[in-house]
Structure 1
Amino acid sequence: MGYVPNLHKIWVGTSDQQLMALCHEFPGFYRYALIMEEASEAERNKASRPYDGMAEVFEEHKQRAAQLLVTAATLERGYQAFRGSGNLQGFQPQVNELGQLHRKWLSELDSFKSALRAQGAEPRALEYVNEAFGHLVDRIKQFAG
């Protein structure tokens, strides 16, 4: 989900000709956008979801969660790019910078979870946060390793 804001900016902020050129140059972009669109539509049309009926979370927490997801996507893309280059030594300053961002992100994630607990968020909501972000923590750790 951390990629969605960037995808949306591209999707609505470009002309039809630019989108066609982008899809032609990067065929995976069109497939990815189509998958995201289909997933979003399927989610909207579902009769019920396991999070239906969950207590509303304050807007500030929604914004923090969205920012944490965006940062997670940035970390994931960054680590993948440097790993894919095959030459981590040549990018050591950038890898170190990603490491700093990673540590800051982990700290902000802990702070976010603490704020949710202090607010009295439902245990089920905390479970969802722990599960979703737990997968991200593990994946980013694997890429950073």
Structure 2
Amino acid sequence: MSQIVAAIDLRVVQLEKQGVTGMALANQMMGHMADLQMIYNTASDRDLRKLCQRFPGFGRYAMLMEEVSEQNQTMAMSGTHPYGDLPDLPEPLKTALVHVLRAAADLERDFQATADDGRGDNQGRLTTARWRWADDLEKLIYQFQSAELPLQTQALVQQIIKATAERIGRMG
């Protein structure tokens, strides 16, 4: 678990150095949401506090996501959530989407760490990982196009994936 928390912490610090905060940070960290949820589900409150103290970037991300969650709940309860009427994704699509977003988050973090290092010795590995990610992305897009989902769901997923792909394209 510490390895996942350290990865989240590193990416938050990287993004904050670039001036990315608030909802922009939450949007760019979307690939880490499943990991954050897993940590919430498995760590005790005491362990969570310790992780937040040891990894301040992780703590800031966790607090931000708590705020986002509370806002979502408030909007859902008041009937003003823009996506409140969308059905849950079928499990195979949800799993594939989480996989692609998580891999994108790892790729972005690794590209940034290589840029921060100033060394290019990881470039070949990153290029290969990027190609693999692009292949997984194509498969995901095909799965979504083949599924019978509301147009609003497809548009939302396309928006998320497009923004993620653009960020990775700029990095590599």
The amino acid across from 1:74 in the alignment is D
Alignment of 1:104 onto 2:132:
yes
| CA distance in structure 2 between the partners assigned to 1:16 and 1:31 by the alignment | 16
AA aligned opposite 1:79: F
Alignment root-mean-square deviation, CA? 2.2
Give the superposition deviation at 1:68: 0.9
What is the match of residue 68 of structure 1? 100
Whether 1:32 and 2:64 are equivalent positions in the alignment is: no
Change in Cα spacing, 1:58 to 1:10, as seen in structure 2 (3 Å) is closer
Picking from 123, 135, 143, the partner of 2:163 is 135
1 or 2 for the larger relative contact order (CA 8 Å, sep ≥6)? 1
Q: CA deviation at 1:56?
A: 4.3
Point out the more displaced range, 97-106 or 14-23.
14-23
1:14 to partner: Cα distance: 4.8
Give 1:122 deviation, angstroms. Answer: 2.5
- Quote the sequence identity (%): 29
Shift of 1:99: 1.5
Q: 2-side partners of 1:53 and 1:13: how far apart?
A: 30
Of the structure 1 ranges 30-39 and 130-139, higher mean CA displacement relative to structure 2 is found in: 30-39
Q: Distance in 2 between matches of 1:18 and 1:51?
A: 33
Unmatched tracts of structure 1, length 5 or more: none
Deviation at 1:7, TM superposition (A): 2.9
SS in structure 1 at match of 2:31: coil
Change (3 A) 1:11 1:105: same
Tell me which of 36, 47, 51 is aligned to 1:7: 36
Alpha-carbon shift at residue 16 of structure 1 (Å): 5.8
- Normalised to the residue count of structure 1, the TM-score between the two structures is 0.81
Deviations 1:47-101 (A, max 9, x none): 332222234432100111111111111111111111111122xxx2x32222112
Q: Which has the larger radius of gyration?
A: 1
Count of residues in correspondence between the two structures: 140
Shift of 1:18: 5.2
Is residue 83 from structure 1 mapped to residue 112 from structure 2 by the alignment?
no
TM-score (norm 2): 0.70
**Quick check: 72-81 or 48-57, which moved more?**
48-57
Which of the numbers 115, 123, 126 marks the counterpart of 1:95?
123
**Out of 123, 127, 142, which is 1:114 matched to?**
142
Summarize the Cα distance change of 1:62–1:11 in structure 2 as closer, same or farther, 3 Å threshold. closer
Write the letter of the residue equivalent to 1:116: F
Instruction: Name the amino acid aligned to 2:84.
Output: D
- Secondary structure of 2:36's aligned partner: helix
